[in-house]
Amino acid sequence: MKLLDRLLDWYIDVVRSHFVMHALPTAKSHFKSPEVLLQPTILAETMKRVLSTLCDAFNHYCYPLKYIFPEHSPSRSRFAHSLNAMTEIALSDYEFQIVSLMMIDYHLSKCGKPSPLDEDDEREKVMQDDYESQRLEFLNELREKVEILGIQDLIERVVAKVYHSFIQYYVSEQYSMRLEREEDEPPALMELKEVIYGPIARAVKVLVRDDGTICERMYELASECLARLRIGEMFSIVVGFPDSIPGLEDLRSCMKTQEHRSQLVASFQTSCQQRLLHSGVNTADVITFYISTIKVFRLLDPRGVLLDKVSRPIRRYLRERDDTVKCIVNGMLEVDDPNTGDLSELGKELANVSGKADDSNDDDYMDLNWVPDPVDAAPDFRNQRTSDFVGAFLSLYDNKEVFVKEIVVVIANRLLDLKNYEIDREVMHLELLKLRFGESELHSCDVMVKDIAESKRVDLNVHDRALLAPGVIPVNGKLHASMLSRFFWPTFKNDDLAAPAEIEDQMERYAAKFSTLKSGRKLTWLKRLGSVDVSLELEDRALKFCVSPDQASMIYLFQSSGSYTVSDLMQRLRVDEASVRRAALFWVKNGVLKEDGNSYVLLERAEESTKKVLMDDTARSSVQTAEEKATEEMRVYWSYIVGMLTNLQSLPIDRIQSFLKMLIPKELGYSRSTDELRDFLAAMIAEERLELVAGAYRLRK
């Protein structure tokens, strides 16, 4: 017996050296050709050949033992064991693993969702079925050899790696950015389940001993992959809402863990920072996005904890933008402003009274559906139960006053633009707004609306000839006025304007009539507000416009002369240059006037080049306003500097800087650095308005 053992030891040594010297090199030589890695069919063939070579050697080594040891003796299994170990170690190298990885991967990739085919095309279907059975046959063949070689563990490890990366790849390949679905398509998870429990499982089970959980594990994996995929796509889901609801459903069904939630928040915030919250995006777009965000996250997490977290950066950003309030108010009041974009959704939501301020507190003991806040809620999380996004916007700022101010201005403008004293629409808006802001906040709006209603009555009386005292000339029926209670309206720039004499005359008569109707009251005209219907009869064309009083008065001047210089117009209209230019621009755009150096000429005949002029002038005007703003800012700073140097004689630059920082009101904002200020002061020295004496600046006499 002992002798036999020693014989076996010796034989194992011989076999080992033979294996290393001859069998292994032969097997590995199959890998040598470079096209092996490129062609999947050759790959499979190579794999087969490698394993066959090894199997042959294996059988060959076992052959002599048949005569010495019985079939199931311990010695036989000892020999087989050591041989298997040797094979496994020999094949554990990188080369073999790569080849098998690629081979199995290739076979798995054929298992995926069958390519769509026509129902009638039986031949295709048969061919596909054929492929699958061929594939399974091949894998079965492979398994037999693997069993002989005893390298199941090795192959299982490889397969595990492969199906892991394959499923990842498959999910991202199939579902990446597939956020929309046809009606009859099943949800992504259902589809995945079908594929995994079907062809993939069939192929994997050939090579892996199934303990009954493998399909479930693969399905879990797929669901996890889908969750990660959709979490990364959250930004696109919000942008594509509501078309992207299927994508959202996917996420909702596969988001299970707390980790997913925090991942979602982090990834969404990052994409917001990168793609939304920078100065290249319109405020209106940010607001629209925020509305969609609210809707999407409400669907995903009705408790609103996720929403609360992801919306914080957006809200913080919106607070920084200075036209946020304007955009929101315009949206709520459905103002058509090309600059603010379409936010009419806000208006619709506002009209949706049922969704209004449901800020009943959390301690509603009658609420049987009450659940505590989730664990990941922030400490200052406040539950807002409704998906009321108007409320979300109104809570952007600490107080609603900013909105009220803007609303007053918008409503005032709208009331002023009314032509027939028809206040119904404004009254409706006002009532809706009152539900949000409370009665008292919008008191001045009430007065404004009432003013217009009252004006209608007064205006009727003014024009009523029956009430006319004998001998008084009636007011022209086309002049109508709105009487405003000065204290309740926003302050207007009451700039003077010289209206045409005829109109001035009518206005005086109107005012006189008003004073007789309302004794003790005097009418002060705001001549630059309102609108004028103008008909122009030129040599070759008749035009009709509805314009501002500025524009009307200006074009009226051209009735007597065909050309005026700018300073001439300024004098005659009693307005400043900017107003003249602005009013003239309107007429230039419409091809009625032409700019000629520093004067404007009436075009009795339309010019060919009208269009070109129009283009040029719009471009120029927008540039001008940007410049105007900068000059305006500088003018403010300069007047402060003059003020302090007049009174305090001379100051070093630090004091000037700190004065400007402290004293210029927040609304204007002073944000220049000391260096910028130094540059500005240097420019002023160059213009001989300042001088620098012993480190301190002073005004030049």
Partner 1 sequence: MESQNAQAASGYSSLKMQDTPATATDSHSVTKRLQSELMQLMMSGIPGISAFPVSDSNLCQWTGTIAGPDGTPYEGLTYKIAMTFPANYPYRAPVIRFVSPMWHPNVDMSGNICLDILKDKWSAIYNVQTILLSLQSLLGEPNNASPLNAQAADQWDNNKTEYKRSLMAHYKDIEELGED
Kindly state the DSSP code that residue 234 receives in the 8-state scheme. Answer: H
Least distance to partner 1, CB of residue 650, Å: 10
d(CA 303, CA 378): 13
Closest to partner 1 by CB, 461 or 531: 531
And the tokens for 228?
């990660």
In whole angstroms, the minimum distance from the beta carbon of 448 to partner 1 comes to: 12
Residue 674 CB, nearest approach to partner 1 (Å): 14
- Closest approach of Cβ 285 to partner 1, in Å? 34
- Can you tell me the distance from the alpha carbon of 472 to that of 479, in angstroms, rounded to the nearest whole number? 17
Q: What gap in Å lies between CA 504 and CA 510, rounded to an integer? A: 10
With b meaning 16 or more CB within 10 Å and e meaning fewer, what string describes 117-135?
eeeeeeeeeeeeeeebeeb
Please identify, using beta-carbon distances, which residue of 658 and 674 lies nearer to partner 1.
Answer: 658
CB atoms within 10 A of CB 100: 25
Report, in Å, the least distance between residue 435 CB and partner 1.
29
To partner 1, the closest distance from the beta carbon of 667 in angstroms equals 9
- Going edge to edge, which strands form the sheet with 563-565? 563-565, 599-602, 593-596
Burial of residue 653 (CB within 10 Å: 0-12, 13-18, 19+) is: middle
d(Cα 611, Cα 153) in Å, to the nearest integer? 80
CB-based contact 208:214 (threshold 8 Å) = yes
- Phi and psi at residue 419, in whole multiples of 5°? -110, -30
Q: At 493, is the secondary structure helix, strand, or coil?
A: coil
CA 183 to chain centre: 27
CB nearer to partner 1: pick between 22 and 521: 521
Minimum gap (Å) between residue 602 Cβ and partner 1: 14
Kindly tell me which of 191 and 504 has the beta carbon lying closer to partner 1: 504
Say if residue 25 is preceded by a cis peptide, omega within 30 of 0. Answer: no
Q: How far apart are alpha carbons 325 and 475 in whole angstroms? A: 42
Least Å distance, CB 451 to partner 1, is 9
549's CB contacts (< 8 A; 6+ apart) are 497, 499, 527, 528, 529, 530, 531, 532
Q: Which is nearer to partner 1, 112 or 500 (CB)?
A: 500
The rounded distance, in Å, linking the Cα atoms of 360 and 354 is 14
Q: Are 555 and 587 in contact (CB under 8 A)?
A: yes
Residue 367 phi/psi, 5-degree rounding, is -85, 105
Q: Which residues bind partner 1 (CB under 8 A)?
A: 416, 419, 476, 478-487, 489, 492, 499-500, 503, 506-507, 510-511, 514, 518, 520-527, 529-535, 549, 552, 555-556, 559, 636, 639-640, 642-644, 646-649, 655, 658-659, 661-665, 668
Tell me the closest approach of the beta carbon of residue 534 to partner 1, in angstroms. Answer: 6
| Cα–Cα distance list, 657 to 382, 446, 662, 676 (Å) | 42, 45, 9, 10
Question: Would residue 383 be called left, alpha or beta, if left means φ above 0 and alpha means ψ between -120 and 50 degrees?
Answer: beta
CA angle 235, 239, 242 (to 5 degrees): 120
**Smallest separation, CB 521 to partner 1 (Å):** 5
- The string of DSSP letters for 44-61 reads HHHHHHHHHHHHHHHHHH
Cβ 594 to partner 1, closest distance in Å? 20
Instruction: Select 366 or 473, whichever has its Cβ closest to partner 1.
Output: 473
* C-beta separation of 600 from 588 below 8 A: yes
The least CB distance from residue 532 to partner 1, in Å, is 5
Nearer to partner 1, 86 or 481 (CB): 481
What's the closest the beta carbon of residue 644 comes to partner 1, in angstroms? 5
Nearest Cα to Cα of residue 211 among 145, 160, 147: 160
